[in-house]
């Protein structure tokens, strides 16, 4: 119970403040859009840039950790994709969008603050290792699958260009890529610039959590409940279970194991709706999965934290 009170509820209370503020009319939906634009396009890319630019790649870029997490994520995508196609009779494009919901966990807005509150700031190193390729990997898989589904029977010569263009128009991926450039090439950064980036970072997670609450107010579940529950079950239970098995086989360090399981156990991220909206496919399933998954994760995260070493 103490874990629920000390680690989980403070994060979800900030989300609840945002939800209530929009629900009661104290904060406009246009304000939420602007706040999320700030966090998703500026503050969080700065956070990811700072984390990757200063990450000790030799020591912390753990291939066993990445394999454990991303094999689990890919299997979750495959299960969601074929479940949507075979169980719920969705067309190929809808199945890809639903698969993306099983693939993309909320690694930043929920994964970072939960891990930090549970295990401290030093525990975030493994989270940042996962996050370093999270958006590139997930968008790469999702966009590639969607373009193949949309171009069935046609030439796929333009596929690589379409995938890369879509990926590198994403601010999160740009922040990660710039962080890698600074890190790998040891590019000098003035202290005053680091100070400015740190100011942006200090606003990133609180503002994003509050904005997430406002966004969730819009996406109240309606219809497709069986499909939504299927996706949420994959995200909150199946994905972390797969990562647990693979991580145990790979004998991950305790801190890396915790980060992998917690990140995998997060609800579908807002980017699942962004992806569905980008292609106009399964938007209701994506939006409602984010809302219901986020609400239910209050309990499921508590269970995972209890089970973790």
Q: Dihedral of CA 10/15/20/21: which sign?
A: positive
Q: Which of 23-37, 119-133, 177-191, 269-283 bottoms out in mean pLDDT, i.e. has the lowest?
A: 269-283
Summarised one tens digit per residue, pLDDT across range 40-81 is 889 989 988 998 898 887 776 789 999 999 999 999 999 999
The burial class, CB within 10 Å (0-12 / 13-18 / 19+), for 251 is exposed
pLDDT of residue 141: 93
pLDDT at 119 > cutoff 60: yes
* Mean pLDDT (the chain, rounded): 88
Mean pLDDT calculated for residue range 290-296: 89
pLDDT greater at residue 65 or residue 2: 65
DSSP letter, residue 236: I
Mean pLDDT calculated for residue range 240-259: 96
Identify the three-state secondary structure at position 280: coil
> What are the percentages of helix, strand and coil residues in the chain, rounded to 5?
80, 0, 20
Confidence of residue 3 (pLDDT cuts 50, 70, 90): low
pLDDT of residue 4: 59
Task: Write down the domain spans for the chain.
Answer: 2-307
Q: How far apart are CA 231 and CA 239, in angstroms?
A: 10
pLDDT of residue 267: 94
State the fold for domain 2-307.
Na+/H+ antiporter like fold (1.20.1530)
- 178, 147 contact by CB (below 8 A): no
């Amino acid at each position: 119970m103490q874990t629920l009170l000390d680690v989980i509820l403070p994060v979800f209370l900030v989300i609840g403040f945002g939800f209530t503020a929009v629900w009661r009319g104290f904060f406009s939906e246009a304000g939420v859009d602007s706040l999320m634009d700030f966090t998703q396009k500026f503050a969080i890319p700065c956070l990811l840039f700072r984390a990757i630019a200063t990450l000790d790649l030799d020591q912390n870029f753990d291939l066993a950790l990445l394999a454990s997490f991303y094999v689990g994520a890919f299997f979750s995508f495959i299960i969601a994709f074929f479940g949507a196609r075979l169980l719920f009779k969705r067309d190929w494009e809808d199945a890809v969008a639903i698969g993306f919901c099983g693939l993309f966990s909320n690694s930043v807005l929920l994964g970072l603050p939960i891990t930090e509150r549970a295990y401290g700031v030093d525990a975030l190193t493994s989270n940042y290792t996962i996050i370093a390729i999270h958006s590139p990997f997930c968008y790469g898989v999702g966009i590639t699958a969607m373009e193949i589904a949309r171009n069935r029977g046609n030439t796929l010569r333009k596929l690589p260009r379409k995938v890369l263009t879509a990926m590198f128009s994403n601010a999160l991926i740009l922040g990660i890529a710039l962080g890698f450039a600074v890190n790998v090439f040891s590019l000098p950064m003035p202290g005053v610039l680091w100070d400015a980036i740190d100011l942006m970072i200090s606003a990133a997670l609180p503002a994003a959590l509050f904005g997430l609450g406002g966004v969730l107010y819009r996406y109240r579940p309606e219809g497709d409940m069986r499909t939504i529950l299927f996706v949420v079950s994959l995200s909150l239970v199946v994905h972390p279970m797969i990562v647990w098995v693979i991580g145990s086989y790979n004998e991950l360090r305790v801190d890396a194991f915790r980060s992998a399981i917690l990140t995998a156990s997060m609800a579908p991220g807002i980017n699942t709706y962004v992806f569905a909206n980008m292609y106009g496919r399964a938007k209701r399933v994506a939006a409602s999965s984010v809302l219901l998954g986020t609400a239910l994760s209050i309990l499921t995260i508590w269970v995972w934290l209890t089970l973790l070493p």
